[in-house]
Each structure stands twice: as structure tokens, then as C-alpha cells.
Chain A
């Protein structure tokens, strides 16, 4: 794994696994000194106002960190991950680990959860900031902004369009069914929260989650002789057009979302990516500007037409052979 095997990188990779175990084992080991249930929620003045069983707290914290860590390791092993996933795992480690530590400390040697110590909003804020700082640090250590990780599959394709022919290519792609399902559940949830006037914070956070999800469950692409245009999501908004005059070549690529740090609109060094699923896509090569990566079904057809149009306009530039 080339230059990533330094001691600090190894620690970043393996420590979350150890922390996941610690988060489970330590509360259980000192359970004689803790009330059960534990105080797990405090009001704004810092007085405890909610409780939960000890084993559940330990399990949830540990499993959350463990899942994130396994995803982190897996993506790292196959060379997909650069800095983004690492930053997210460590953000979670600090946040969840810190929450559990504060919770245990507040409950330690108390008779019942109602007697738990003050855990004001100040500490929660400190945790979030600390987690953010650590996450950013990990992101920097693991390489910061990465370059476009996709490699072109084969030479730039052609669709067989000749001089004097007009052509248009239209295509689309949709996210995996599971993703669409989650998006719909959250959308319905946010609608329900709005209708039944649940807590405004819950309603707002659901809406904020639902909108980007709906935006990224599908996309449509059109290639005409002037531009490549994409429409996002079921509403077709946003709509973005990339003029062919800036493009010198289109390539077919295999897109791995995690390599770009996830789904949606992604910015990596040298490229901007519109990602709604894993799999085939096109890359529009634009010298002097960021390349554009778009996941779309039938990528070879789209790339082929773009290349043919560029060829007839005398602006196609082949990749330098290695």
C-alpha cells in the first residue's frame, strides 16, 4: 500500500477498532459503580431528564463506531478510500466516544440516574468542535483533497457519427433501490413531521436530509452538438450544462462512489462529480478546468457521441498513451 504504511497511518486505521471494543467493555467492567438505567439525556440547564439501560448505551456506541470502522478499512484496503471516509470515522469516534465518556463520568458512583452530574450543552458543543478538528486533521494526514481516482476504460469511444450527421444522445440513471427507499421514507417522514407539527428541529432536519436525497436519486443526461446537459433528481433541478467548446475528450470510466467520498455532487482535485450510483459513467476532460464525472447508463454511447462531435469540429484530443 505504497506510502501509506507509516506508524501514524496505521494508528489511524486500527485505533477505531480498539476504541469500539473499549466503548463496549469499559462500561460493563465498571457496571458496579454505575446506576442502571443511566442518565443519557440532560435538559438545557444540565439536569438529567432521560435514561436508558447501560448495555444499550455501550452496545449502540460500540456498534456505531465498529460499523464505520469496518467500512473505513474495507474501502481503504481496495484502494478506494482516501481521506474522506477516514475523517468521517474519526469524527464519529470522537463524538460517540466522547458522549459515552461524558455519560459514564456523569453517572459514576451515583445511586440513580436522577442523581447524575450536570452535563450541560457546553460539553456537547465542545465535543462537536473537537470531533470536527480531529476529523479535519485525519483528512489532512490521509492526503487531504485527492485526485480523480477513476481510470479510463479503453480508448475514448466513438458512436460512428460522420460529418454531415446530426445526432443527439439521451440517457439516464437511477440510484440503487435501497437508496431510493430510504429517500422516500425520509421524505414521507418529513412530510408527516410537517403535517403533524412534531418538534420543529426534527421536521427541519428531516427536510434538510430529504431534499438532497431526492435530488440525487436519479439523473438525466443529454448530449447535443453544443453541450452536455444534466438534470438532477425527479424534479430535474439543478440543471447544469457543460459546453462542448471546453471539452477535448470523453472517456468511459467505472465510478466507485466511496473513492469520491460518497454520493451526490463531489469535488475532488481536478474533477467535479455527479454520482447517484456505483458503476459506469463518463468523464469529460476539460484542460484548464475541472474534469466532469457523471454516472450514467450506456456511458459508451454518450462518450462516443461527444468524441465524434469533437472530432468533426476538429477539437478532439486523444489521451497521451502511456
Chain B
């Protein structure tokens, strides 16, 4: 699993870490049941504050991608297919915003696709 950070990017560091984990799941570099590196270990390797990593993990937990277990750290629980769909949707939303569609327009488009 490769996680990269652009320190001069406008995207917050914790968001970049979360994106890295999502991509790793999407590309099947990590799967259900796999343990993510300990927050402290990852923070040290990436040269960021441990709370930045924890914030990324918390976001992933809220999305149902990982579970935080005492003693075992962060474990991947999200099914790859579900995470993939979510990632694709994020891409679609980003594309739609880029060409100037409003959130209502995007919802309309989604509704149409359903």
C-alpha cells in the first residue's frame, strides 16, 4: 500500500492519507481483514503529526471502510466493490463540479441515471 503526501497541496494532509488508503483498497493492495499501519508508525514514516493520521483513520471509519480495534489498530472492513463505487462517485462529482454543475444538477443527473 502506497500512501503519498504533497505537502504543498491545497488538499489537507489527512484527506490525502484517507485517499491513499481508499485507493489501496480499490487497487486491491489491501483487502478485508488487513491491518493498516499503526498511526504512530505511519505518522513517523510520513513525517506528519500522529493526529493527522488518526483524523484520516477516523474519516475512513465513519465511511465504514475500516474499523478501529483496541490493541489491533485499524482493520479494513469495507468491501472492495463498495469502496470502489464510492471512489468512482467521488470522481464523477469532482468532474461535474469542474464543468460547473451545481449540487442540485449533479443530483438530477444521478436521479436520471437511476
Contact in complex: B37, A166 (CB < 8 Å): no
Contact in complex: B2, A166 (CB < 8 Å): no
A170 to B46, CA, bound (A): 12
Q: Does B5 contact A (CB under 8 A)?
A: yes
Q: Which chain B residues (34-70) contact chain A, with CB distance < 8 Å?
A: 34, 36-37, 41-42, 44-48
One of A161, A164, A301 near B29 (C-beta < 8 A): A301
One of B1, B29, B45 near A224 (C-beta < 8 A): B45
Nearest A residue to B1, CB-CB: A170
Chain A residues lying within 8 Å of B3, measured Cβ to Cβ, are 167-169
Q: Which 8 A-B pairs have the closest CB atoms?
A: A224-B45, A167-B4, A168-B45, A166-B5, A169-B2, A170-B37, A166-B46, A165-B4
One of B6, B34, B42 near A165 (C-beta < 8 A): B6
B2-45 vs A, Cβ < 8 Å mask (1 yes, 0 no): 11111110000000000000000000010000101100011011
One of A161, A167, A172 near B46 (C-beta < 8 A): A167
Contact in complex: A222, B37 (CB < 8 Å): yes
Chain B residues lying within 8 Å of A166, measured Cβ to Cβ, are 4-5, 7, 46-48
A298 to B29, CA, bound (A): 7
Q: Does A305 contact B (CB under 8 A)?
A: yes
In the complex, given contacts A171-B1, A222-B45, A304-B2, what are 18 additional A-B residue pairs having Cβ atoms less than 8 angstroms apart? A161-B4, A165-B6, A166-B4, A166-B7, A166-B48, A167-B3, A168-B3, A168-B37, A168-B42, A168-B45, A168-B46, A169-B3, A170-B42, A222-B37, A222-B41, A224-B46, A298-B29, A305-B2
B25 CB to closest chain A CB (Å) equals 13
A322 to B28, CA, bound (A): 35
A139 CB to closest chain B CB (Å) equals 40
Chain B residues lying within 8 Å of A161, measured Cβ to Cβ, are 4
Chain B interface residues toward A at CB < 8 A:
1-8, 29, 34, 36-37, 41-42, 44-48
Chain B residues lying within 8 Å of A159, measured Cβ to Cβ, are 2, 4
| Size bin of chain A's contact surface | 10 to 19
Nearest B residue to A159, CB-CB: B2
B67 CB to closest chain A CB (Å) equals 18
Chain A interface residues toward B at CB < 8 A:
159, 161, 164-172, 222, 224-225, 298, 301, 304-305
A191 CB to closest chain B CB (Å) equals 23
Chain A residues lying within 8 Å of B47, measured Cβ to Cβ, are 166, 225
Chain A residues lying within 8 Å of B36, measured Cβ to Cβ, are 170
Chain B residues lying within 8 Å of A301, measured Cβ to Cβ, are 1-2, 29
| Known A171-B1, A301-B29: A164·B45 in contact at CB below 8 Å | no
Contact in complex: A164, B6 (CB < 8 Å): yes
Chain B residues lying within 8 Å of A168, measured Cβ to Cβ, are 2-3, 37, 42, 45-46
A170 to B74, CA, bound (A): 14
Chain B residues lying within 8 Å of A167, measured Cβ to Cβ, are 2-5, 46
Chain B residues lying within 8 Å of A169, measured Cβ to Cβ, are 1-3
Contact in complex: A164, B2 (CB < 8 Å): no
B80 CB to closest chain A CB (Å) equals 15
A231 to B41, CA, bound (A): 13
One of B7, B42, B46, B48 near A164 (C-beta < 8 A): B7
A171 to B3, CA, bound (A): 11
A165 to B13, CA, bound (A): 11
B111 CB to closest chain A CB (Å) equals 37
A51 CB to closest chain B CB (Å) equals 51
